[in-house]
């Protein structure tokens, strides 16, 4: 049984979606002169949009809400609330996905009150319309059923967290083989992240002291 519906997003899809989103922005005739990437999810799409729309200015703002994969924190915060002057600029605020919308609402309100741009519009690759508190001005994909998108820039982090959750949930089981973990991962998340990422995530959990590798088995340590 898949526990968290998850879709593995490829780099090719990211390029295709960012290109598609750039076309939507172009058609609107909105011409941003500064792109603001919401850190960290908006970085890659923002950089690609700068390329597709030929925008030179790229800054970022860290607004954080989801501290772990598929687990939402109670409150979104602006991590480094620095100040810049944007009163002559048209800003495009970019994120990967609008889920609850809290991250973007916070970033938007901060920019409007502290950076005071001439104009501000919001773009996201994806918009989960039934749950989001805001609709971005521009989006490429409307998502109708909630799902966790496993983006390529969080593959290592998400995989390590997902494996950790499997081990925590089955706390009586103190020894796992690689294939047992792989099978459970596929059952729980329905995706295959590839051998390199899976082994990298396991190495990370070993380095963090949560697992110990011994005789081709992973022994559960402190969690
Ligand atoms: P939110 O404040 O709920 O709109 O989401 C904030 C950030 O968390 C997004 O910009 C993503 O980086 C990440 N995120 C939230 N929901 C998802 C999801 N369903 N799939 C992948 N990433 C997500």
Q: Which domains does the chain have, with CATH numbers?
A: 6-150 (3.40.50.2020), 152-220 (1.10.10)
66 Cα–ligand 1 center, Å: 6
**CA atoms of 25 and 19, how far apart (whole Å):** 10
Give yes or no for residue 204 having a pLDDT over 80: yes
Mean pLDDT of all residues in the chain? 94
What does the chain come to in residues? 223
pLDDT, tens digit, 9 for 90 and up, residues 79-126: 999 999 999 999 999 999 999 999 999 999 999 999 999 999 999 999
Of 29 and 76, the structure prediction assigns the larger pLDDT to 29
Band of the pLDDT at 65, cuts 50, 70, 90?
A: confident
- Residue 43: which pLDDT band, with cuts at 50, 70 and 90? very high
* CA 196 – CA 185 distance, rounded (Å): 15
Task: Please give the average per-residue pLDDT across 150-163, as a whole number.
Answer: 97
- Is residue 55 predicted with pLDDT exceeding 80? yes
Q: Is the CB of 45 under 6 A from ligand 1?
A: no
Ligand 1 neighbourhood includes 148 CB (under 6 angstroms): yes
Region 26-47: what's the mean pLDDT?
97
Q: How close is the Cα of 87 to the center of ligand 1, in Å?
A: 29
Q: Which helix (H) or strand (E) holds 149?
A: strand 148-150
Report the helix count and the strand count for the chain, using DSSP H and E.
6, 11
User: What mean pLDDT comes out for the span 152-168?
Assistant: 96
97 lines ligand 1 (CB under 6 A): yes
Residue 96 in contact with ligand 1 by CB distance below 6 A: yes
pLDDT of res. 101: 94
Q: How far apart are CA 116 and CA 95, in angstroms?
A: 19
Given the structure tokens 């979606």, which residue do they identify? Answer: 17
Helix (H) or strand (E) segment spanning residue 159:
helix 155-169
* Cβ atoms 204, 20 nearer than 8 A: no
Is a pLDDT exceeding 70 seen at residue 70? no
Mutate to test the pocket of ligand 1, among 4, 9, 41, 190 (most ligand atoms within 8 A of CB): 41
pTM metric for this prediction = 0.94
What pLDDT does residue 1 have? 59
Element (H, E) at 186: helix 178-189
- Residue 186, pLDDT > 90, answer yes
Q: Is residue 158 in contact with ligand 1, taking CB distance under 6 Å?
A: no
Neighbours of 12 (CB within 10 A): 9
Closest CA to 193 of 91, 129, 202: 202
Indicate the pLDDT class of residue 171, thresholds 50, 70 and 90: confident
Q: What whole-number percentage of the chain has pLDDT above 70?
A: 95
Q: CA 219 to CA 29: how far, in whole Å?
A: 57
**Rounded distance from Cα 203 to ligand 1 centre (Å):** 26
Structure tokens, 165: 């959750």
Question: How large is the average pLDDT for residues 187-197?
Answer: 95
Asked whether residue 3 carries a pLDDT value surpassing 90, the answer given is no
pLDDT band, residue 68 (cuts 50/70/90): low
pLDDT at 81: 95
């Amino acid at each position: 049984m898949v526990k968290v519906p998850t879709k593995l997003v490829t780099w090719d899809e990211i390029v295709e979606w960012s290109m598609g989103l750039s076309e939507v922005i172009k058609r609107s005739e909105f011409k941003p002169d500064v792109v603001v990437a919401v850190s960290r999810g908006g970085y890659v799409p923002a950089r690609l949009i700068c390329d597709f729309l030929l925008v030179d200015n790229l800054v970022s703002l860290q607004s954080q809400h989801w501290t772990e994969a598929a687990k939402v924190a109670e409150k979104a915060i602006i991590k480094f609330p620095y100040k810049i002057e944007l009163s002559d600029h048209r800003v495009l605020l970019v994120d990967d996905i609008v889920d609850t919308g809290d991250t973007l609402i916070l970033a938007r309100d901060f920019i409007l009150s502290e950076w005071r741009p001439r104009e501000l519009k919001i773009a996201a690759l994806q918009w989960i319309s039934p749950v989001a508190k805001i609709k971005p001005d521009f989006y490429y994909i409307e998502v109708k059923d909630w799902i966790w998108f496993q983006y390529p820039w969080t593959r290592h982090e998400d995989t390590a967290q997902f494996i950790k959750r499997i081990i925590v949930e089955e706390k009586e089981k103190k020894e796992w083989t690689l294939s047992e973990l792989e099978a459970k991962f596929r059952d729980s998340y329905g995706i295959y992240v590839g051998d390199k990422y899976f082994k990298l995530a396991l190495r990370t959990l070993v380095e963090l002291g949560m697992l110990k590798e011994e005789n081709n088995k992973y022994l559960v340590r402190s969690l």
